[in-house]
Amino acid sequence: MADTLSDRPLTLAEAAELYRLKISTLRAEAARGRLDVFRIGRRDYTTLESLKGMVLRCQEDARRRASTSTQNESNGSSETTRASSAQAALNQTAEALKRGLPHISARNTSRSGRRAH
């Protein structure tokens, strides 16, 4: 069986150097399921074919993130307007509390209009 270049095992160090990545990045991509890694003895290996597949999956994920669409209004500009409006109302309340409430006298609180003695 002929060993093709794309199927030849590469250590993660070789693969990282080839793609100018860190070994930890390759391990993270393997944990995310984007890179096939296998162990022989004490070393982890991958293949050039697997690296190419990882790059394609990363590119597809990036395209999906870049082309998101808003399905409802709760995360659009109307949400920002509501949040700003709520913040303005809170600021008004805080300012009123800082100024203090008006003093209430017994004369203003009697129900029958009689003066309190």
pLDDT in tens, 23-55: 999 999 999 999 999 999 999 999 999 999 999
Regarding pTM above 0.75, the answer is no
Backbone angles phi, psi at 113, to 5 degrees: 85, -5
Pairing of strands 9-11, 38-40: unpaired
pLDDT in tens, 55-78: 999 998 888 887 766 565 555 566
Q: Name the CATH topology of 5-63.
A: Arc Repressor Mutant, subunit A (1.10.10)
Sorted by where each begins, the domain ranges of the chain are 5-63
pLDDT at 12 over 90: yes
Element holding 46 (H helix, E strand) = strand 43-47
